[in-house]
Amino acid sequence: MTDRTWLFTSESVSEGHPDKVCDRVSDSVLDAFLATGEDVRVACETLATTNHVTIAGEVRGPEAVLKDVEGIAREAIKDIGYEQDGFHWETCEIVNRLHAQSSDIALGVDAGNKAEEGAGDQGIMFGYACNETEELMPAPIQFSHRILRLMAEARKSGKEPRFGPDSKSQVTLRYQNGKPVGIDTVVVSTQHDGAVDQDTVRDMVKPFVTQALPEGWTLPDDRLLVNPTGRFVIGGPDGDAGLTGRKIIVDTYGGAAPHGGGAFSGKDPTKVDRSAAYAARYLAKNVVAAGLADKCVIQLAYAIGVPEPVAVYVDTQGTGRVDEDRLGKILRERVRLTPRGIREHLGLLKPIYARTAAYGHFGRPVEKDGGFGWERTDIANDLAREFGAEAAD
């Protein structure tokens, strides 16, 4: 590789961002249906604006959950922290327009051949991993998430109550020979208490930026931009309307890898937009963890009602140490990439989705109840043994 340098930027948004409020509500509804243990189908979309939330979409599941949707939404908004005049968890209007799933879609999903369920829709899904961070994620998006997560933890714990729920971050890194070598610019815009001025907000933000960056990386003061437009007191859905699924690049790899276009939140795991994207990340991460490549992109393609993917594509972006065609074949043998196979392998039929609604679906620690199970690297050793000498060469 030539001695080339460049800048690359990714952004994140907090759980209080209007779009993320909607993702959280949609995923909280999904979790409530999954918690019943019944065979449910959920495709839930949410819109939020000043003192108003509309929830719509298609579901199949217990009527009791459907009747409790308003309460589920209020609890989600309360946990995020909205108690402001223009958007308050207790007083905002909530309209529930969820209805029964289309019988035509149900036919294609439920009546697949050979006892397999068909994919809930056609589409392409991508997974990605690289060795830029311990989490095998691109560094710019990982650092962007980390800044906002630390700020949110401080706000909720009472350590820094002057932060509001709505915030955004953007991290620009310097790359050399394909590796991140330093920080160039950080932008943070955060909702704040109306009593604090711009300089105070900057002082509030700066420690969290320092904490989020790798040890030894320094950022000049003039390259930290905090609330560049000035005052940011009115935030969340009161400041801007939100919609489910409008932050798909934030949810995935910050633009460092392709995205198939389908959003995740509010969709049960029969929808391959979600489950197959998780499977593709799982496979790509295990390839990199096995030392077979420094970077790996995996694309899966499906047809509605058809269980098996119509195509599996593996690209190690010139960093691979093994034959990509053989690697793709081995991966298909290791993991059954039907909707049912993915759900069973990754343990997706659990109420584990509300926690994914902010700070990324990938690069998160695997949790004891199975949350973020697609981040496991449990087949990496098998892959390394499979390719053995070839990988070493």
- Residues contributing to the annotated binding site for ATP: 17, 166-168, 231-232, 240, 246-247, 263, 267
Annotated binding site for L-methionine: 58, 101, 240, 271
Active-site residue identified among 232, 264, 362, 372:
232
Residues 194 and 233: beta-carbon distance below 8 Å: yes
For CA atoms 26, 27, 31, 33, the dihedral sign is: positive
Residues 381 and 287: beta-carbon distance below 8 Å: no
Active-site residue identified among 149, 267, 281, 361:
267
Active-site residue identified among 23, 27, 31, 45:
45
DSSP letters for 28-64: HHHHHHHTTTS--EEEEEEEEETTEEEEEEEEES-HH
d(CA 195, CA 127): 44
Annotated binding site for Mg(2+): 19
CB neighbours (10 Å) of residue 359? 23
Residue 20 is among the residues annotated as catalytic for this protein: yes
Residue 247 is among the residues annotated as catalytic for this protein: yes
The two structure tokens encoding residue 39: 């065979």
Residue 93 is among the residues annotated as catalytic for this protein: no
Residues 77 and 21: beta-carbon distance below 8 Å: yes
d(CA 314, CA 249): 20
Residue 285 is among the residues annotated as catalytic for this protein: no
Residue 83 is among the residues annotated as catalytic for this protein: no
Active-site residue identified among 74, 192, 246, 285:
246
- Determine the length of the chain: 393
Buried b (16+ CB within 10 A) or exposed e, 195-225: eeeeeebeebbbebbeebbeeeeebeeeebe
Residues 63 and 119: beta-carbon distance below 8 Å: no
DSSP letters for 351-381: S--GGGSSS-SSS----TTSTTGGG--TTHH
Characterise 304 by phi-psi region: left (phi > 0), alpha (psi -120 to 50), beta (else). Answer: beta
**Nearest Cα to Cα of residue 264 among 43, 51, 74, 94:** 43
Residue 75 is among the residues annotated as catalytic for this protein: no
Residue type, 21: V
Residue 145 is among the residues annotated as catalytic for this protein: no
Residue 179 is among the residues annotated as catalytic for this protein: no
**Nearest Cα to Cα of residue 140 among 225, 212, 240, 44:** 212
Residues 164 and 138: beta-carbon distance below 8 Å: no
Annotated binding site for K(+): 45
The two structure tokens encoding residue 202: 């900057």
d(CA 224, CA 206): 8
Residue 17 is among the residues annotated as catalytic for this protein: yes
Annotated binding site: 17, 19, 45, 58, 101, 166-168, 231-232, 240, 246-247, 263, 267, 271
Residue 295 is among the residues annotated as catalytic for this protein: no
Catalytic residue numbers read 17, 19-20, 45, 58, 168, 232, 240-241, 246-247, 267, 271, 273
